């Protein structure tokens, strides 16, 4: 059965994908420039930002990962959200 997925779900997911992209790029840069303090500071800033975005996403939409925090409550909420092929 198909679920309705709100526009805010897609917007929040897009923000997470964007921050993941930045983190991957910074990781690649830091692999070759490990002493760049500015890049390391940016990496740490985006890492904290991702943690906050994941917490917000899971509060609004349920678990992002099977081991996520989610909205809480009884039961296993991972199976209640949209499946990857529904997004």
| 48 within domain boundaries | yes
Window from 15-24, 48-57, 59-68, 74-83 with minimum mean pLDDT: 74-83
Is 64 within 8 Å of 54 (Cβ atoms)? yes
Tell me which H or E stretch contains 13.
helix 7-32
State the average pLDDT for the chain: 84
| 42 within domain boundaries | yes
Q: Where in the sequence is the domain holding 42, given as residue range(s)? A: 26-61
| 41 within domain boundaries | yes
Instruction: Provide the 10 A C-beta neighbour count for residue 11.
Output: 9
Q: Does the pLDDT value for residue 20 go beyond 80?
A: yes
Is 30 within 8 Å of 22 (Cβ atoms)? no
Burial of 4 (0-12, 13-18, 19+ CB in 10 A): exposed
| 49 within domain boundaries | yes
| 52 within domain boundaries | yes
How many domains does the structure of the chain reveal?
1
| 7 within domain boundaries | no
Q: Does the pLDDT value for residue 55 go beyond 80?
A: yes
Q: Does the pLDDT value for residue 24 go beyond 80?
A: yes
| 5 within domain boundaries | no
Q: Does the pLDDT value for residue 36 go beyond 80?
A: yes
């Amino acid at each position: 059965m198909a679920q309705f997925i709100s526009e805010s779900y897609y917007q929040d997911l897009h923000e997470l994908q964007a921050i993941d992209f930045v983190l991957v790029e910074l990781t690649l840069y830091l692999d070759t420039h490990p002493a760049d303090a500015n890049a390391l500071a940016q990496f740490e800033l985006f890492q904290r930002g991702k943690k906050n975005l994941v917490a917000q996403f899971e509060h609004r939409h349920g678990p992002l990962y099977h081991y996520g925090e989610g909205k809480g409550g009884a039961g296993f909420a991972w199976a209640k959200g949209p499946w990857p092929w529904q997004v």
